[in-house]
């Protein structure tokens, strides 16, 4: 999965300009959680949301600015400029740490907003990686983090003629079997034999779903 295959292009986005008023941006935000904020030359400045607007109003209110006056101010100071950005050549997994904290991932090149990766795009990629919408038989394995562990596993599936739909390793821990793997295979009459051979090869079957 590549970022360039999951981008919503800039031309399809609702964006705000740094010179727009708070009032006009709030009108634009109907139906949106947040929007990209751009400079006059298209440079990406940050992300504007109702939360960032409210936080900015709290600041200026302390200086005596009324709400009607605030609505006439420019939106740029309301932008969250700390939002990380990626490029089309970034690794897709780099989106994960960003999308857990922000509604979308800005894709920026030469300081210009190219597009965004939405949370739904990341969810879809994870669904594909974990084969959530495919009929499978599932094994949660415990395995030692040693050289050749994956090769031995795939040698077993290959020898049995079992089709591996996905194999996702995760969850390092400080114990003898310090790796976990979700192994999903196409439904097969050799599933019990697969489980037996995995156990004989030293893998721990933590959970089995037929």
Q: Would you kindly state where each structural domain of the chain is located, as residue ranges?
A: 3-126, 131-209
Burial grade of 13 (CB within 10 A; 0-12, 13-18, 19 or more): middle
Its pTM stands at: 0.77
Please choose, from the candidates 85, 92, 90, the residue with its C-alpha nearest in 3D space to the C-alpha of residue 126: 92
How far, in whole angstroms, is CA 38 from its chain's centroid?
Answer: 23
Q: How far apart (Å, rounded) are the C-alpha atoms in residues 60 and 80?
A: 16
User: What CATH homologous superfamily does 131-209 map to?
Assistant: ACT domain (3.30.70.260)
User: Per residue of the chain (210 residues), what is the pLDDT tens digit?
Assistant: 678 888 999 999 999 999 999 999 999 999 898 999 999 999 999 999 999 999 999 999 999 999 999 999 999 999 999 999 999 999 999 999 999 999 999 999 999 999 999 999 999 888 988 899 899 999 999 887 778 888 999 999 999 999 999 999 887 666 555 788 999 999 999 999 999 999 999 999 999 998
Give me 109's structure tokens: 């090149």
Domain 3-126: state its class: alpha beta
Distances (CA, A) of 174 to 149, 177, 179: 17, 8, 9
Strand 164-170 and strand 179-185: the pairing is antiparallel
Give me 48's structure tokens: 């504007």
């Amino acid at each position: 999965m590549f970022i360039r295959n999951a981008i919503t292009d800039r031309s399809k986005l609702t964006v705000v300009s740094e010179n727009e008023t708070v009032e006009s941006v709030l009108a634009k935000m109907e139906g949106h959680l947040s929007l990209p904020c751009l400079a006059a030359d298209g440079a990406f400045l940050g992300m504007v949301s109702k939360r960032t607007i409210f936080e900015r109003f709290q600041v200026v209110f302390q200086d005596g600015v009324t709400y009607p006056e605030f609505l006439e101010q420019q939106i740029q100071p309301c932008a969250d400029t700390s939002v990380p950005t990626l490029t089309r050549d970034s690794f897709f997994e780099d989106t994960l740490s960003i999308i857990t904290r922000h509604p979308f991932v800005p894709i920026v090149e030469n300081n210009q907003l190219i597009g965004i990766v939405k949370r739904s795009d990341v969810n879809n990629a994870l669904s594909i990686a974990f084969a959530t919408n495919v009929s499978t038989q599932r094994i949660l394995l415990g395995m030692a983090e040693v050289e050749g562990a994956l090769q031995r596993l795939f040698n077993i599936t290959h020898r049995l003629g079992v089709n591996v739909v996905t194999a996702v390793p995760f969850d390092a821990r400080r114990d003898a079997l310090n790796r976990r793997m979700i192994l999903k295979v196409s439904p097969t009459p050799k599933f019990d034999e697969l489980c037996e051979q995995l156990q004989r090869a030293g893998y721990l079957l933590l959970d089995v779903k037929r």
